[in-house]
């Protein structure tokens, strides 16, 4: 009953603040959770482990059916999900079942295979979504120049407003955000379109102050130009879409790992940590803007979910993987008491992070 009341409250608030687009948030999260758990499910099945429950959501069951000894369930609280394997129970860390079809009897390598499959499926899903995005095309700022900074490398080379950068060092430029990837403190060859005429310029960028992906002010090589504000639809089709998907997946994964590292060392303030409200805000607004943007946000969240689940925190897949690596190295399991304390500690850490992220979301909403 409590789960249903909470679900109704979530829906009322969601529709009040985000209208019908709030459904996009629920669908995106449910889809990502389904895909994550599907990875665990298929890996477990491939090893003959019995899957007792496959649930999308937590709390009270709204709909369920039994198929081949597995209960498939749709639960009231949509922000999560789980696969319950025979012989594995996160709420009872010390629980084991020694039946032949139990998770408990598997060797550490097979357990790691099952544990890794969930995050891996999230990364694969993001890769597939990027391929789709590349073929659908995504709207970006064009490489047309709006303003040129005084005494900048661009001004000194003779580049003018309304020029469009076509290529840098022979590499085709399709949007303004691609320019920074090629700008370094070394001589560059720019191919410019000026009123339909192609002109080549040679220049060396100057060092200046710019912002990195985390909003930090850092020294950066700069041309000294800003975008005109015109937009262009950028496509990555055919085999090129695979390269695009791989590049974007690697960039997004790297960005998340760097972000976690910066949070740990204190370079990025913890107040930037966002939770489910931030996710709802972003996905709902993306759904209002365009389908392609919604796919892009979904891909980023999927990679985020995959990487975060690999963190070595007990109760997450990464924590369980770490326990199994310990067993492989030392040829014995983590002591039972230590395993239980670490598991409950991991649960407390995750709960604290969720509460803190939600608190940040509320503060941002009140500003």
Work out how many domains the chain is built from and give that number.
2
Q: Is residue 226 in some structural domain?
A: yes
pLDDT in tens, 97-127: 888 999 999 999 999 999 999 999 999 999 9
pLDDT in tens, 200-211: 999 999 998 877
- Tell me, what's the pLDDT at 318? 93
Range of the domain at 130: 2-137+274-366
Same domain, 131 and 151: no
Q: Is residue 249 in some structural domain?
A: no
More confident residue, 76 or 251: 251
Q: Which of 182, 213, 234 is the last residue of a domain?
A: 234
- Tell me, what's the pLDDT at 136? 93
Local confidence band at 86 (pLDDT 50, 70, 90 cut-offs)? very high
- Tell me, what's the pLDDT at 30? 86
Q: Is residue 328 in some structural domain?
A: yes
- Measure the CA–CA gap between 226 and 291, rounded to whole angstroms: 28
- Tell me, what's the pLDDT at 270? 63
Same domain, 290 and 351: yes
Local confidence band at 275 (pLDDT 50, 70, 90 cut-offs)? low
Decide: helix, strand or coil at residue 63. strand
Average pLDDT value for the chain: 85
- Tell me, what's the pLDDT at 15? 63
Q: Which of 234, 257, 286 is the last residue of a domain?
A: 234
**Quick one: how far is CA 260 from the chain centroid?**
12
Could you confirm whether 37 is annotated as catalytic?
yes
Number of H helices, E strands in the chain: 9, 12
Q: CATH code at 146?
A: 2.30.42.10
Same domain, 319 and 346: yes
Q: Is residue 256 in some structural domain?
A: no
Per the listing, tokens 């599907």 go with: 38
Q: Is residue 55 in some structural domain?
A: yes
Local confidence band at 160 (pLDDT 50, 70, 90 cut-offs)? very high
Q: Is residue 310 in some structural domain?
A: yes
Local confidence band at 10 (pLDDT 50, 70, 90 cut-offs)? low
Same domain, 9 and 125: yes
Among candidate residues 21, 37, 178, 200, the one labeled active-site is: 37
Q: Is residue 260 in some structural domain?
A: no
Q: Is residue 338 in some structural domain?
A: yes
- Measure the CA–CA gap between 209 and 306, rounded to whole angstroms: 33
Same domain, 48 and 195: no
Same domain, 122 and 146: no
- Tell me, what's the pLDDT at 14? 66
Local confidence band at 357 (pLDDT 50, 70, 90 cut-offs)? low
- Tell me, what's the pLDDT at 278? 65
Same domain, 47 and 83: yes
- 149-174 mean pLDDT: 93
Same domain, 161 and 189: yes
Helices 317-330 and 108-136, axial angle in degrees (round to 10): 140
Of 130-139, 192-201, 307-316, 339-348, least confident by mean pLDDT is: 339-348
Local confidence band at 148 (pLDDT 50, 70, 90 cut-offs)? very high
More confident residue, 271 or 233: 233
- Measure the CA–CA gap between 197 and 239, rounded to whole angstroms: 31
Closest CA to 224 of 120, 145, 285: 145
Residue 56, pLDDT > 80, answer yes
């Amino acid at each position: 009953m409590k789960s249903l009341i909470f679900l109704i409250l979530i829906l009322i608030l969601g529709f009040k603040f985000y209208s019908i687009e709030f459904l996009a948030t629920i669908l995106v999260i449910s889809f990502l959770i389904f895909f994550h758990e599907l990875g665990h499910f298929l890996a477990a099945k491939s090893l003959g482990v019995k899957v007792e429950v496959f649930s999308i959501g937590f709390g009270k069951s709204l709909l369920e059916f039994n198929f081949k000894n597995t209960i498939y369930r749709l639960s009231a609280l949509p922000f999560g999900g789980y696969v319950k394997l025979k012989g594995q129970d996160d709420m009872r860390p010390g629980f084991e079942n020694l039946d032949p079809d139990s998770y408990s009897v598997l060797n550490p390598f097979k357990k790691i295979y099952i544990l890794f499959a969930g995050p891996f499926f999230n990364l694969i899903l993001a890769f597939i979504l990027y391929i789709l995005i590349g073929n659908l095309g995504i709207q970006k700022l064009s490489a047309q120049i709006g303003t040129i900074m005084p005494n900048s490398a661009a001004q000194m080379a003779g580049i003018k407003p309304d020029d469009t950068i076509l290529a840098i060092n022979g590499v085709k430029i399709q949007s303004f955000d691609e320019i920074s990837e090629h700008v370094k403190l070394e001589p560059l060859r720019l191919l410019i379109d000026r009123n339909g005429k192609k002109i080549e310029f040679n220049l060396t960028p100057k060092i200046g102050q710019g912002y990195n992906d985390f909003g930090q002010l850092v020294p950066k090589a700069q041309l000294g130009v800003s975008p005109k504000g015109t937009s262009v639809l950028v496509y990555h089709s055919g085999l090129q879409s695979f390269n695009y998907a791989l590049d974007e997946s690697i960039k997004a994964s790297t960005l998340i790992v760097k972000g976690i590292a910066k949070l740990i060392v204190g370079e990025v303030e913890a107040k930037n940590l966002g939770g489910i409200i931030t996710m709802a805000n972003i996905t709902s607004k993306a759904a209002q803007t365009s389908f392609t943007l919604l796919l892009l946000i979904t891909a980023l969240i999927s990679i985020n979910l995959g990487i975060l689940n690999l963190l070595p925190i007990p109760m997450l897949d990464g924590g369980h993987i770490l326990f199994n690596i310990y067993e492989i190295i030392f040829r014995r399991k983590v002591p039972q008491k230590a395993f239980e304390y670490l598991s409950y500690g991991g649960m407390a850490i995750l709960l604290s992070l969720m509460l803190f992220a939600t608190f940040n979301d509320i503060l941002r909403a009140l500003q």
